[in-house]
Amino acid sequence: MSARSKARKRALDLLYAADVRQTPVAELLSAEAARAAGEPAREASWLYARDIVDGVGDHAAEIDGLISGNAQGWTLARMPAVDRALLRIGVWELVFNDEIPAGVAIDEAVELAKELSTDDSAGFVHGVLAAVARERTAQA
């Protein structure tokens, strides 16, 4: 597994935990930073995970708006917490991280959905992220 794939998983864990526990993500980031400092081998994945979580936090309203606007028939509150976190990561990568090709952002989110969420989640995540990617391409 690549460092960026590991970072996405770490970011997912942090965003999911903050959502489910109703805890500010900054608190969890602080604890994770301390843990990462003690494990130099995980530094590469930690740096990108922090970028993702910070980026999702910095652009939360716009990201949630894009998800809501492209999740036909689903509100954010109705989505499983794992799917919500995956979509936030995927949208951040699609819209705010020019280093990640759209296909990679979508594929990585779909793979995590297959591994960690419901049977229908991978298709749902793919559909929402593909719609966001098409929307972004049309605007460019």
Closest CA to 70 of 49, 94, 51, 54: 94
DSSP string, 96-137: H-TTS-HHHHHHHHHHHHHHHS-TTHHHHHHHHHHHHHHHHH
**Per CATH, is 3-139 categorized as 1.10.940.10?**
yes
Domain boundaries, the chain: 3-139
Average predicted confidence (pLDDT) for the chain: 93
CB distance 74 to 123 below 8 Å: no
The one-letter amino acid code at 83 reads D
pLDDT digits (tens, 9 = 90+) for 34-77: 787 777 777 778 889 999 999 999 999 999 999 999 998 899 99
What is the average pLDDT across 19-41?
A: 84
pLDDT over 90 (residue 20)? yes
Structure-token match 């970028």, residue found:
51
pTM: 0.93
* DSSP, res 42: G
22 φ/ψ sector (left φ>0, alpha ψ -120 to 50, else beta): left
Residue 81: which pLDDT band, with cuts at 50, 70 and 90? very high
